[in-house]
Amino acid sequence: MPLLLVEGPTQAAVSLEEAKLHLRVDDDEEDALIAGQLVRAHMACEDFQGRAYGRRTYELSLHSWPGRREIRLPMPPLVEVESIKYVTADSAEHTLDPASYLVDARSEPGRIVLRNGYAWPQERLREANGVVIRYVAGYEHIPAHLQTFGAAVLLTLGHLYEHRENVLVVRTATVAPLPRGAQSLLYPHRVFGVVDIK
């Protein structure tokens, strides 16, 4: 179930100025380093919690249609589904009729649900990534009950800044785990159960 970030957020949950204040850095010599670590800390916290902080566009690829009448979409909150395209075995691309499904943005995670009387297309799909769902997700403004996300990013940033040589955090792979304090802040609002679409 590959998830591709098509267009990322334009604003981070924590500014460079806030990050430098947290790190007690007064000069500008390490701005580039701190900015890079801030992005990695933000992504690591998002990945751990399973939420998108800042609007972005994703493409979720599926190798087959699910065995049930819904598809749950990772990285809530879901804002809108732009399109559901599928490629058949003869390499022809089709767009699923929007009248055949309901976009449920109120559930968490958001989901696509087949309407009564409709079924997933029966044509044989190409061997890999036969279904591509393009959708918009992410908070435009962080809700009050999730404000601890910024604190978790700062704790992770501090960990990265202090342990530069032996810590590597990249999207979907954290070689060194998030600091325990960051995990404690993120865990209460962690999203589970998205990847099981069967």
* pLDDT, tens digit, 9 for 90 and up, residues 87-141: 999 999 999 999 999 999 999 999 999 999 999 999 999 999 999 999 999 998 8
- Kindly report the pTM of this predicted structure: 0.82
Identify whether residues 77 and 96 lie together within a single domain: yes
Identify whether residues 86 and 129 lie together within a single domain: yes
- Give pLDDT tens digits for 37-78: 998 899 899 999 999 998 999 999 999 999 999 999 999 999
2 in a structural domain: no
Identify whether residues 130 and 162 lie together within a single domain: no
Identify whether residues 61 and 95 lie together within a single domain: yes
Residue 96: the pLDDT is 97
Out of 112, 137, 162, pick the residue that ends a domain: 137
Nearest Cα neighbor of 133 from 192, 67, 86 is 86
In terms of residues, how long is the chain? Answer: 198
DSSP one-letter string for 58-86: EEEEESS--SSSEEE-SSSPEEEEEEEEE
Identify whether residues 76 and 113 lie together within a single domain: yes
75 in a structural domain: yes
Out of 96, 112, 137, pick the residue that ends a domain: 137
Domain hosting residue 72, numbered range: 56-137
Instruction: Check residues 75 and 195 and name the one with the higher pLDDT.
Output: 75
- The number of folded domains in the chain is 2
Identify whether residues 120 and 76 lie together within a single domain: yes
109 in a structural domain: yes
d(CA 86, CA 113): 16
Identify whether residues 33 and 100 lie together within a single domain: no
Does position 36 have pLDDT exceeding 70, yes or no? yes
Burial of 3 (0-12, 13-18, 19+ CB in 10 A): middle
Residue 163: the pLDDT is 80
What is the rounded average pLDDT of the residues 7-35? 88
